[in-house]
A and B are shown apart, each in its own frame.
Chain A
Amino acid sequence: MTPFGILTASACALPLASIDTDQLIPARFMKRSRADGYGQYLLHDMRFDETGQKRPDFPLNAASAADAEVLVARRNFGAGSSREAAVYALVDFGFRCVIAPSFGDIFASNAVNNGLLPAKVSEADAEEILALLQSSATTITVDLHDGLIRLGNRTFTFSIDPIWRTKLLNGWDDLDLTASLTGDIARFEQQDAGARPWIQLQDGSD
């Protein structure tokens, strides 16, 4: 994973609450292979009308959104299903950070596993950032070292779980670390087998 440090990029304002994972990527696209990129499915049913035409007033369809790397939304972003495809869609579209007052837990954890920063701000700051983006500035700086967001001459703080922060800063993949711990896992399994024999599923029980 690419480490996340300081990102200066153009931002897209999406002033909606509870954008759930069913919006981020409708279920019918989840059969597709990731190889073709999931960016085309991002917020598909909001971006396109029934005939497949782009809805001109949808923020992601604005010319300025084409190279946006930061998305700003209202509360409860990414609520709903555990589909990591929702994160793939954002990442493949080009986003590296989502700013919102709250996130679905599974979404946020999936985001971190794909190097996408879920930056949590207060509701008031989210509203101010949204207003600023809609009126003037579109270039935003997100600094993960200091937990700061800069926009025009305003600075906002954001929070992120310290465990996730470290992981993003280092671009860590949990698997690398766990691979070095197989001995610990085996020890746990051994002790546990005696203590909780009901955990074992016999192969012949069906």
Chain B
Amino acid sequence: MTGTGQPRTLFDKVWDAHVVTRREDGAELLFIDRHLVHEGSFHAFNKLKEKRAKVRRPDLTIGVADHYVPTRTRILSEIAPEVAGMIRQLDDNCRANGIRIFGFDDPRQGIVHVVGPEQGLTLPGLTMVCGDSHTSTHGAFGALAFGIGASEVAHVLLTQSLWQKKPKRMRITVDGDTAPGITAKDIALSIIAAIGADGAQGHAIEYAGRAIRALSMEGRLTLCNLSIESGARCGMIAPDETTFAYVTGRPFAPGGDVLDRAIAAWRELASDADAAFDRAILIDGRDIAPTVTWGISPEDALPITASVPDPAATDDASRASHIREAIDYMGLRPGQALETIQIDRVFIGSCTNSRIEDLRAAASVLAGRKARVPGLVSPGSHLVKQQAEQEGLDRIFIDAGLDWVGAGCSMCVGMNGDLVPAGERCASTTNRNFKGRQGPGARTHLMSPAMAAAAAVTGRLTDVRPLLRSDA
């Protein structure tokens, strides 16, 4: 199935290199290079126990505590017993199976999709899976990385492989330089608004074009993270000098001769010039404005200068019904200018936007200013936290009136108890504005860290551009 001389995409090259075998119906057995597990993986470990089976490659399996970890204490006995139980259960399952774990008390702990790249566990050309849909994040390195369910987690634990049917290929090209103040989050939300929350279903996305190449690794991670919000199986960016520079020197990344060999191989991964894509989409980076969501699906995104849509203005009955449901849940009026929407709190964090550059962007807006609403800043890992503190970013957040807490999924999903109270409206740097995602009855507006900081300063959804310092 390989080496036919056909031009191939980045996705095809990584896929083909991992095919163990193919069965009659066309499904292919892929070898998995990295398997990340977290507290939620307990269903799969239970299946393993039922079968009295062993993990095939504990050396390629990595445990990370993130979804349930408390962000305001380091003492497990101080938190709800059933939450602490989830964290201990992961520890027990990893230890019983000889799996390396970045547990609750490890100085490298953090959100699984932040820790992987930070530790050099994520590398170009790998296959990576995790029982978490935002595994697409790791595609920023040109890895084939996707989220799987518990049955599949059990399958990977047992066999280090996974049956998959090949998705279709989709290229999203963002050409034209984005304006100052426009971030990867704005690019991603604009893409999702353009193609829909199911627009890339059944597809592997490759992001290409000038505006993508110009992104830092951190921006690329944000962009690939949000691939799942357009329904894609995964999102990938061809590795380049930016990628190699990021990987070099990371704790688990190769070094010396092996690194040289690896980089030579990684250079070959880029899509061939005339490789075919099933779909190609072109977006002009110059058109992208700071973007926020107003509704209950990430596709409900608009430039901050726009207004809440009017269900009466669309002929599409299903769309009109969605808009009605969304503005009813969100407590908005049709035609209301987005900049007039008052918020109750902000959250800066999650695997989408909690890396050091994200915190710097938020801090640059908040420096010397006060937040009008309460808020939580949760760095993506302990190492990010340390770095931010060395740079004095923690002081900026605290002086502005926000809470500076520990690393974890936190208010992205509220499993650790960091919740948005019912009916409250949160300006959030996360990835899902689903009903009740941040807590029952919570209302979420998604945006970049700089935009969340701007909203904190004014107490309403705000165009960050006038607040950006010319010297920043």
Contacts and interface: CB of A to CB of B under 8 A. Distances in A.
A137 B254 CA distance: 63
Given A27-B413, A188-B31, A84 B197 contact: no
A181 B20 contact: yes
Interface stretch (B142-150, B170-178, B333-341, B367-375): B142-150
A113 B20 contact: no
A18 B296 contact: yes
Contact of A201 (B60, B201, B415): B60
Residue among B23, B85, B161, B258 with most chain A CB within 10 A = B161
Residue among B135, B151, B437, B440 with most chain A CB within 10 A = B151
Interface stretch (A4-12, A28-36, A146-154): A28-36
B440 A80 contact: no
B122 to A, nearest CB: 12
B435 interface: yes
A192 B15 CA distance: 14
Contact of A206 (B60, B100, B152): B100
B441 interface: yes
Contacts of B56: 185
Contacts of B125: 196
Contact of B202 (A105, A114, A123, A200): A105
B172 to A, nearest CB: 17
Interface stretch (A54-62, A63-71, A159-167): A159-167
A163 B26 contact: yes
Interface string A17-56: 1101011001110110010000000000100001000000
Interface in B230-277: 231, 233, 251-254, 258-259, 261-262, 265
A23 B435 contact: yes
B408 to A, nearest CB: 14
B126 A199 contact: yes
Given A27-B414, A27-B415, A81-B133, A34 B29 contact: no
A22 B437 contact: yes
Nearest to B295: A18
Contacts of B33: 199
A200 B432 CA distance: 34
A113 B100 CA distance: 28
Interface in B196-214: 196-198, 201-202
B436 A18 contact: no
B318 A106 contact: no
B74 interface: no
Contacts of B146: 106
Contacts of A26: 436, 440
Residue among B233, B317, B432 with most chain A CB within 10 A = B432
A201 B121 contact: yes
A110 to B, nearest CB: 4
Given A75-B318, A198-B258, A20 B434 contact: yes
B151 A162 contact: no
What band does the interface of chain A fall in when counting residues whose beta carbon is under 8 Å from B? 35 or more
Interface residues of B, number: 80
Contact of A162 (B25, B121, B160): B25
A149 B424 CA distance: 43
B262 A181 contact: no
B29 A22 contact: no
B21 interface: yes
A137 to B, nearest CB: 22
B325 interface: yes
Interface string B82-106: 1101100000000000001000000
Interface in B405-427: 413-415, 422
B147 A203 contact: no
B231 A105 contact: yes
Interface string B32-66: 01000000100100100000000010011010000
Nearest to B316: A123
Interface in B112-143: 121, 123, 125-126, 131-133, 135
A75 B198 contact: yes
Interface string B430-471: 001011110011000000000000000000000000000000
A87 B43 CA distance: 13
A76 B231 contact: yes
B395 interface: no
Contact of B31 (A102, A177, A192): A192
B314 interface: no
Contacts of B321: 15-17
Nearest to B31: A188
B357 to A, nearest CB: 25
A81 B146 CA distance: 11
Interface of A: 15-18, 20, 22-23, 26-28, 30-31, 34, 45, 50, 74-76, 79-85, 87, 102-106, 109-110, 113-114, 123, 127, 161-163, 166, 174-175, 177-179, 181-182, 184-185, 188-189, 192, 196-201, 203, 205-206
7 contacts: A18-B322, A83-B149, A105-B167, A175-B158, A178-B29, A197-B258, A203-B59
Given A106-B149, A163-B26, A197-B261, 8 more contacts: A23-B435, A74-B318, A81-B147, A82-B133, A182-B159, A197-B258, A198-B253, A203-B59
Interface of B: 20-21, 23, 25-27, 29, 31, 33, 40, 43, 46, 56, 59-60, 62, 82-83, 85-86, 100, 121, 123, 125-126, 131-133, 135, 146-152, 154-155, 158-161, 163, 165, 167, 196-198, 201-202, 228, 231, 233, 251-254, 258-259, 261-262, 265, 296-297, 317-318, 321-322, 325, 413-415, 422, 432, 434-437, 440-441
